[in-house]
Amino acid sequence: MSLFVDEGEIVVKAGRGGDGAIAFLHEKYRPMGGPAGGDGGRGGDVIFKADRNTSSLWEIARQRQFRAKNGRPGEGKNRHGKDGASLILKVPLGTLVRETKGGPILYDLSEHGIEVVVVKGGKGGKGNPKFATPTNRAPRVAEEGEDPEERRLYLELRLIADVGLVGLPNAGKSTLISRVSAAHPKVAPYPFTTRRPELGVVSAGNFTNIVIADLPGLIEGAHDGVGLGDAFLRHIERTRLIAHLVELMPPAGTPFENYLAIRRELKLYSAELARRPEIIVLTKADLDPDETRAKEFVKKYEALRKKKTKNAALVPPRFQDADTFCVAISAVTGYNIERLLRMFFDAIARLPVPEMR
């Protein structure tokens, strides 16, 4: 079983071009056959291909060095050397290719089937017939194959999803995605059961689907590498909508304090990400039957929006009606799940896909 790896540095080298051949035709009844050395074959390219069935960079990061096949040399009787086979490396959708970590994006492989040539194979050398002239009809010279391109590249995976589920560990993210899709992430009553992002597809019929990403739980200091660190925060950057799950009966702190803690981590990681549209999902509503805690959360949230304080700056701009920014659900009983999905579909229909930088 492969591990989930979402970044890595590799070296890719294309194939060298085959040498041209020096040969002469010697056949019965053709004593003056002349030069007959074939051209060398072209070296293979190294190609990245976006593949929806590939979920991790583990295989690529583990091997680290890749090389396409060299072109074969030319042969007598003007036979062209065989071209070297190109090497196609399948990468997950959402893979960004840079020359160095943090450098400019060279390629963004965000659609299934997209192929990019990252290094080109060398051209094959010319055989001796290409050097024949009226004064030198039997040249004894041929061209060497061209050297290939070689590059060191940094690959970074940022999952592509319409909705990204964020929140403290055990806020109910895995339970929710397993309830509304065919995804089956690990669910357990202890922190950090989600060690890798999980994707689930939710269908509304009429060929309309949205992709939901269950991202590992965040804790204070995640932007600095605390807990599971900021390794998974990058995956939120591709999502159009953040679904912020807040547990109504948390083991520590209050729902509103926990909400602000995660909002603070998002802003410290990226100011742009902190402005991303958000729906607040108050989970485990079955433990709050009279909605006391849910009403208290909404009251504090609305009061904070009216203030001009440091904490007020953590709240993202509202992008939809006041009565649809927050919903209390129970993934166990199914309470308000359909309403939440309608909110997701309505929001996604109006939100653009964020650009990568």
Per-residue pLDDT band at 227 (split at 50, 70, 90): very low
Predicted confidence at residue 269, as pLDDT, reads: 79
What would the pLDDT profile of 44-63 be if each residue is shown by its tens digit? Answer: 999 999 998 887 888 898 89
What would the pLDDT profile of 184-224 be if each residue is shown by its tens digit? Answer: 544 434 333 334 567 777 877 665 788 888 876 554 544 44
Per-residue pLDDT band at 247 (split at 50, 70, 90): very high
> Quick check: 75 pLDDT over 90?
yes
What would the pLDDT profile of 145-173 be if each residue is shown by its tens digit? Answer: 999 999 999 999 887 788 988 888 888 88
Predicted confidence at residue 337, as pLDDT, reads: 94
Q: Give the whole-number percent of the chain exceeding pLDDT 70.
A: 84
Could you give the domains of the chain?
A: 7-157 (2.70.210.12), 163-348 (3.40.50.300)
Residues 6+ apart with CB under 8 A from 257: none
Task: Flag the least confident range among 174-178, 252-256, 334-338.
Answer: 174-178
